[in-house]
Amino acid sequence: MDTVKSPTVGRILHYFPNGADPITAANNAQVVPAIVVQDFGNTIVNLSVFPMNPDATNVLRYSVHHKSEAFEGQAYWDWPEIK
């Protein structure tokens, strides 16, 4: 496994919700932009997530793991792809 760069507060990440997350119910989002609001000095972060939802500007997700450490079916974060 490659070493994952630890995120810091203010960095933009991609949040991948699981099927049970209300974010997916709003617009079937597979990936949602998020900003790190608290990092724990490793690959676990608290996020402010920005779904495409006219009823809310953002939502918080706590203790989100990087995809390399998430359990199957669990929501996770990853760095945005460079295209």
pLDDT digits (tens, 9 = 90+) for 9-67: 999 999 999 988 888 776 778 899 999 999 998 999 999 999 887 676 788 999 999 99
Place of tokens 């402010």: 48
Output the CA torsion 44→47→52→53 (10° steps). 120
Question: Residue 79 pLDDT more than 80?
Answer: yes
Q: What confidence tier does 75 reach under pLDDT thresholds 50, 70, 90?
A: very high
Contacts of 57 (CB under 8 A, 6+ apart): 50
Q: What confidence tier does 76 reach under pLDDT thresholds 50, 70, 90?
A: very high
pLDDT for 2 equals 61
Integer Cα distance of 56 and 40 in angstroms: 26
Q: What angle do CA 12, 54, 72 make, to 5 degrees?
A: 50
Question: Residue 1 pLDDT more than 50?
Answer: no
